[in-house]
Amino acid sequence: MSDHNDVPLMFQAQVAGRSQIHKLEDLGKKAQELGVRQEDLRQQAYDWVEEWQEACDSKNVPAFSKRRVRWKEFSFTWRMVTNSGQDGGVIRPVIGERGWVYFPGSSMKGAFRRACTSQEEKLRYCGGDNNGEIHSGILRFHGGYPKKYDWLNDSLVDMIHPQEDWQLNGGERKTAIQLSLYKPTLIFGISSVKPLPEEEWGHIWQIWEVALGKGIGSRVSAGYGQIETHGASNLLTIGLYGQGLSSKRIDGEKEFRPNGFKAALRGHTRRLFSGVTDDVTAEKLTNQLWGGLADKDGAIVGLLGVAFSAPNLDFEIYRSGRYRMPLYDTGEALLNILLLNNNLSKQVFKQERQLSEQDCKNLKVFIIQLVKFSMLMGGFGKSWRRIDHRLFFPQYLNDKPMIGCHWEFIEESEKRYVIPVNQIADITTFLDELQRKVAGFPLMREIKRGKPQGNLREAWQKGNVEVWGRIADNKNDSLAVRWFHDPYSTGKSIQRSELTGKMGQIGRIWHRMYPRYRKRGEELIDTGEYVELLTIFPNRSGNEEEVKKTEDFLNFLKDSSDFIQLW
């Protein structure tokens, strides 16, 4: 019998010593144990993928029968996960003819069926039970293959790193590996058991585009499996652009990851709900909106998802002394908030029901406020709690790492989403009204809820959070950015404290330079100024030295700075 090392990893069991591609190994620790250099080791998932890719013949691309099958191609804006089920925790890709990655016809049929607008359409095209009689549909769904062989040269190794507990409550960071296609173009095939007129084929492909508009595959709510158009599933379209530190793949290559938008919006949803109700209700409502797992209730299918399209996305490498760091510039981009599910979950509410038209309107109002809040207080993606040092503190960047990001609305979205600041107290008015709207969110009335408990570290509750602000004349007039790196007063510093955080530890302060617009009648005027904001979650019961540092800094803001407390 041959040694198991001769067997491709694809066919080995997901156990220690065999194949564990989902596991993100500590290569530094492993190198020490084996007595080798760390650069000579790599994650096993790369070996798994390369063995698979090398076994595929790039000159023999699968194709649908020209006589029997109609097909169309569709391009995806980011990654796509095709899921054949889990094996030892691994989301394994579906592998079709000739070893090619494949979107199954059965999954295609399910998505198509859900996109049909009537029971008659479902029965005609997909078949099913009609008053006790089983009917066969006229369509056959042949699935989808990558159009070309370029996926054989792509890095399919992707990562899952849920950060909600870490970001909101200082919990443990976790990362796992999954396999996904990067910006694929897939060709989908459909055939019919009987001849159909061209007009009906046009209608069939319209239904399939509606299905694609909701996303296909796994993790669609986080931006996976999305095309550029979303049809009726699109709840909001927000035009924005941003720049900052780029995420990296496991191999260190740069990649802008749109799932950061869902992470930010979901996190802020939880913060806001935790400020007006008890922790259990806040978690249930957050899961109802964005999906999630409840310990006792199982999986909850969320109502919302995100999709991001940045056709002019650009990268560059930040170079300063010994530092080399990838940066992104999205250019003018679109963030879509999608309504992916119309059913309220029985795990959250007393009974399952469909969203009404009024529910959808209420949900849209809430999401608009959430987007405004998210852009007011911070940014998206990596280092979202800090301002972009290239813009606001370039003199710091001399043999120092790049820090932060900066996001703004593009012109088409300014009137709808910008918060005008005629005077600094307008921020207070917005935050007060926001909390009232969150507390009065109609879906919350259907749940028996308790008072806020304050157990979540970043709960948006007075007494748990303070917002300080000032008007900055221009991008060179940020005061607070210097306090993160130098003493803010003689002999006093918050650098590398619990308040500002450090490597591997989330701090308790956010810093934002929000572009200031004034309102004159219906006209929105860009002043060229910024509202400089500090959002602080003081720890008043922890380490005595750290508590004193925080209190000293808050006293400094109150007595010796231009900042005023807004909330």
423 CB neighbour count, 10 Å cutoff: 11
Give the pairing of strands 405-409 and 234-245: antiparallel
Phi-psi region of 268 (alpha: psi -120 to 50; beta: other; left: phi over 0): alpha
Per residue in 189-207, pLDDT tens? 999 999 999 999 999 999 9
Q: Give the closest residue to 469 by CA, choosing from 525, 498, 521, 430.
A: 430
What would the 3-class secondary structure string for 382-414 be? CCCCCECHHHHCHHHCCCCCCCCEEEEECHHHH
Per residue in 252-304, pLDDT tens? 889 999 999 999 999 999 999 999 999 888 999 999 999 887 656 677 888 99
Residues with Cβ within 8 Å of 4's Cβ and at least 6 positions away in sequence, in order, are 12, 18
Write down all domains in the chain, each with its CATH number in brackets.
1-55 (no CATH), 58-229 (3.30.70)
The predicted model gives 360-373 an average pLDDT of: 95
Per residue in 129-159, pLDDT tens? 877 788 899 999 999 999 888 899 888 888 8
Helices (H), 378-531: 389-392, 411-417, 425-439, 480-483
pTM of the model: 0.90
By the 10 Å C-beta count (0-12 exposed, 13-18 middle, 19+ buried), 298 is classed as exposed
Q: How far is 242 from 132, CA to CA, in rounded Å? A: 55
| Alpha-carbon dihedral sign for residues 97, 99, 101, 106 | positive
pLDDT exceeds 60 at position 508: yes
Per residue in 394-447, pLDDT tens? 999 988 999 999 999 999 999 999 999 999 999 999 999 999 999 999 888 888
DSSP string of 17-59?
Answer: TS--TTB---HHHHHHHHTS-GGG---HHHHHHHHHHHHS-TT
| β-pair partners for 363 | none
